[in-house]
Structure formats: structure tokens, C-alpha cells
Structure 1
Amino acid sequence: MLADLQEAFRVAVLDPDAAMPAGLTAHNGVAPARRFAVYRNNVTLGLASSLESRFPASVRLVGEEFFRALAILFVRAHPPRSPLLLDYGDELPGFAETFEPAREVPYLPDVMRVEIARSQAYHAADAAPATLGVLSAMPPERLGEVRAVFHPAARLLRSAFPAATIWQMNSGGEAREVTDWSGEDVLVTRPNLDVTVQILPPGGHAFLVGLRAGNSLGMAAESAFAEVADFDLPGAMAALINAGIICRFEL
């Protein structure tokens, strides 16, 4: 009985057209339809506000009214599955791709994915980044066999749009016209205290994806060269050390 009431309450609190669940009463014995409607509205707007807090660049990109309408529909279709709201909204980019008004802003879902990656990186576990000295101490003839263990905060994204540039412009960066609409490969991480967002050079995404999958440096480099013939391997090695995305190197 209680389980049935709870399920009816859950359904009704997210559906503005649903009737008030049976069995609810006020202190004066009157069916509290108006109070329930206020509660339902507060729940929906509260969850929508949590999404606005997690996606500030996306809000700025499309405007508060547009984002609020999107967020309310998302809340009703995808209510939280946990009382912890730190990761609520991970499905929002996919939902935005089906939101008809958002078709005029096709890069919005990928900007959201950058914001999700930043949020995940911020809350990831701490780990000490590996230094160049560790790699230099390994036998040179065996460097191709080395495998890398990624920092828990590292996130990789591939976008058909300049998603990182658009995110940066809507996060307090320089406001300018985007003239190059080429796609961007993005690395998000937090080696120390600050989350960083970096646009990877050609071949960098393939190289890091290979390493993250457990491939050796040699195999990851082959993947990068297959994608970009003039891939800068020495530069990529220096960049991954400087970015602090590797915790340790292993033979």
C-alpha cells in the first residue's frame, strides 16, 4: 500500500497534468490540491535550477528562458536517480539533441559535454602526476612498450564543432566571432587544484585514446600516425607530461 502511494506520488509530482495522488490530506482534512501543485512546481523548478548551476556556459549560450524550458522538460523525463545531484544532468546533452528548438544550436550538446567533463574532473579523486624523470629512467629501447595509467580526472572529448572554443567564450573568455567551425578534440583534467580545458593538436585524441585503452606508447603512436601523417610524437609526449594526465608509466 505504501509502495503504491509512493509510486503514485513520484509520477504525479513530475507530471503537471496528473491528478493529485489519492490519500493525501491536509491538517484540516481538505484535499490539498493547491498545496500539492505548489510542491510539484517547486520540485521541478528546484531541479531545473540545479541544472542551470551545472551548465552555466550553456545557459549563457542560449539564454535563461530557453535553457529553463529545456531543463523543465528534461526534469520531467529524467528525474534524479540519486539524492546526490553532483552528476545530475549527464543525460542532458543527448536530450538536447532531441529538443526541436535546439536544432538551431547544433553545438549546444557538445558544449554541455565539455561542462560535464569539467564537473567530473573537478570531483575526481586526487593523484600525483608522473614526472618526465620517471619516463627518462626507462630503457630507451623499450619506450615503445611503455603503458600509461591515466589521472582519474582526465576526460577526452571529440566534437564536430569548436565546442571548447564556444565554451570558453561563454565562460568569461573573449567574446569574438567564430570564423573556423572545424571540430575540436578536447582534453579536460585537473592535475592539481584547477580544472583545465585544452584543445588537442591533430592526432592527439587518437594518441591519448590509445593510451587510455591500455595500449603501449608504440601502438598509441601508430594510431595517431594513421590519423595524421605528420603527428608530432615528441610534442605529444611533452604535452601529456606537462598536462599532468598520467599518474605512472609501466613496462
Structure 2
Amino acid sequence: MSGFPDLVSDFATGLIDGDVPQGVTAREPDETAQRFAVYRNNVATSLTNALAKRFPVIKRLVGDDFFGAMGRVYLDAHRPRSPVLLDWGATFPDFLVGFPPLAQYPYMADVARIELARGRAYHAADTDPVAVEALTKTASDPEHARFALHPSVQILRLAHPAVTIWRANQPGATGKIPTLAGAEIALILRDSRYQVPVTAVGAGDAALIEALQERQTLLIAAELAAFAEAGHDPQPILLYLIQADALTLPKETP
């Protein structure tokens, strides 16, 4: 007689291949297969709907029917490993790269990376923004000043103009895909109003943010930004981070 772990394993396998797990029955045994098929379909539909909520722009780009069918294909190969659905879908951008029907639309994966990053940003841990007094005092010595960034802050170096495409497919936008080519760099964070804006930034801004995330001093971060983008002015991006409450002070190491 199989134990509970075997039943769980067989049940999970049955949700993929459709075979009724041993030990599963219904009040009317003849209805077992039918009832399990209904349950299996409900699980697949629920997970596909959860995927659509996490990647709404991808759904808008490909259409409801296509997304539903694609979600089933993704589900078959990438089952949730946690009851927390927020953890599911991390492999979806890479899945889109290798999904043959979307081979002519390589920007899809980058758009999905933006949507995945926005979800992570929204649920990132809270931190206290740097106070004005501390900011002024710390920034007055850029050679030694170090700032930290809110955990939601992410830089995505994208191979396609995915930020522009993402914006074109927000509620109220035209949905028309712009005729653009080339890479974009996305800055994603959760601001003080709990909004998660997506901003296209230049190479200098991205280099400065990445340097701050690596705990470099403000001076070194500015130098790296200038190396990445000649003539870069760090003030606008620092002001943006301050206004978003995304700039903090690093915690002291005990």
C-alpha cells in the first residue's frame, strides 16, 4: 500500500498526464476519471489565469486564445514548486525565447522580463528612505559617501525596445507596436506611492545605479557612469531616486 508521499507524487503526475492516481476515487467509482479530468482542467485554468495576471502585456500582445494555449504548454513543462504563486513564472521569459510560434517576435521575452521585475518590485521589502539631513551630510563627502538602494530597484539591460513596447500596451494606450530597433535599459522600482513605474534610462544612469548597488562610493559611481556615458550628469537620476524614496543609507556591518 502506497503512503501519502507516493499519493502526492502520483497526484502531481496525474495533473500533467491525465492518469487518475491510485487511491483517488469518487462517491460513484465510475465517475472517478471524469471528476479528476474536471479537477485537472480547473487547476490548469487557474494557473493559466494567474500567469495572465502576472504578464498582462504579453497577453494583450498575443491575444486571449493564444495566451491560454501557450499557458498550458508552459504549465506542462514548468509546474509550480511552491504554493506561493508569486514564485511561479520566473522561467516564463526564457520559455518565450524558445517558444517556436513566437520566433518572429524576439522582443516578447524582454517585455516579460519587465513584467516579472515589476512584480518583484511591488512585493519587495520595505526600507526607510534617507533623511534630508543625512543625505546632505553624506553627499557632502562624495569620496567616502555610500548610499544603498531600495530592494525594489532593478536595472534590466534589454536587447529590444521593450520599455517602449510595454508603455504602448498600458491601459489607455494605442497598443500599436512602435517601429523601433535597438536595445533599451529599464529602471524599475516601487516608489513612495506604491506605484511601479518603468523608465528607460541611459548607460550612465544604469552604471551609476549598479555601482551604488555594489556599495561603491558616490564618487566611484559617478566616475563609472561617466565612463559608460561621456558627460553624464548624475544629479537627475539621483533626484529621481530621492523623490521615489528609493535612496537609503547602507546598514552598518556589526
Same topology, TM > 0.5: yes
Q: Which has the higher contact order (CA 8 A, sep 6+)?
A: 1
Secondary structure in 2 aligned to 1:158? strand
The 1-side partners of 2:208 and 2:223 are apart by 8
1:1-251 equivalences in 2 (<5 Å): 1-2=2-3, 3-16=5-18, 19-30=19-30, 32-138=32-138, 140=140, 142-175=141-174, 176-192=176-192, 193-248=194-249
Question: 2:168–2:177: 8 Å Cα contact kept in structure 1?
Answer: no
Which runs of 5 or more residues in structure 2 are unaligned?
none
| Residue aligned with 2:43, SS | helix
> Counterpart of 1:186 in 2: which secondary structure?
strand
Tell me the alpha carbon deviations over residues 90-129 of structure 1, each in whole angstroms, 9 at most, x when there is no partner. 1110111111111121111111111111111212222332
User: 1:156 corresponds to which letter in structure 2?
Assistant: I
Distance 2:243 2:116 in 1: 23
- Give CA-to-partner distance per residue, 1:127-150, whole Å, 9 cap, x none: 33225543322373x312211111
CA distances 1:32-89 after superposition (whole Å, capped 9, x unpaired)? 1121112111111110111011111110011112221221111111111111212321
Query: What displacement does 1:179 show?
Result: 3.5
Structure 1 runs of 4+ aligned residues shifted over 6 Å read none
Q: How many residues are paired up?
A: 248
Contact 1:206 1:227 in 2 (8 A): yes
Greater shift, 36-45 or 213-222, is seen at 213-222
- TM-score, normalisation: structure 1: 0.89
| 146 and 139 in structure 1: CA distance in 2 versus 1, 3 angstrom threshold | closer
| In structure 1, distance between residues paired with 2:62 and 2:173 | 17
Q: CA RMSD in A?
A: 2.1
Alpha-carbon distance in 1 for matches of 2:189, 2:212: 15
Aligned-partner SS, 2:249: strand
Which range is displaced more, 87-96 or 233-242?
A: 233-242
Percent of paired sites with the same residue: 37
